[in-house]
Amino acid sequence: MMNKSVFIAAALALAVIGCSDKQAEDAKAAADKAATAAKEAGDKAVAAAKEAGDKATAAAKDAADAAKGATSDAMKSAGDAMKPAPAPAPAPADAAKK
């Protein structure tokens, strides 16, 4: 990007200094072409950054949903673990008499 800016500045400087009309037109055309290429590169970079941001947002949402589900399962398991154990079944009365 920096090289293109330097190229544009050099081309414009040559045109201002007093080159022939043909050389000035060539320099202007080259500067216009470089400016167009720089704009296209900038547009592509913006689009790539937006896409990366969208994907990061979606991944964060998915991670949050997964964490929410895991927390819910853990809370349910903890609640189940805190319940008292069922009382043992009483011994049959017939076996105690013998």
**Interatomic CA distance for residues 18 and 21, integer angstroms:** 8
Instruction: Indicate the pLDDT class of residue 44, thresholds 50, 70 and 90.
Output: very high
What pLDDT is recorded for position 97?
54
Is 33 a domain residue?
A: yes
pTM over 0.75: no
**Interatomic CA distance for residues 3 and 44, integer angstroms:** 18
Is 26 a domain residue?
A: yes
Is 72 a domain residue?
A: no
What pLDDT is recorded for position 61?
94
pLDDT at 3 over 60: yes
- Give me 9's structure tokens: 């500045």
Per-residue pLDDT of 52-98, as tens digits, reads 999 999 999 999 999 988 888 888 887 777 777 677 777 676 655 55
Q: Which letter, b or e, does each residue of 65-94 get, where b requires 16 or more Cβ atoms within 10 Å of its Cβ?
A: eeeeeeeeeeeeeeeeeeeeeeeeeeeeee
Is 92 a domain residue?
A: no
Residue range(s) defining the domain that contains residue 13:
1-61
**Interatomic CA distance for residues 85 and 95, integer angstroms:** 25
**Number of compact structural domains in the chain:** 1
Is 83 a domain residue?
A: no
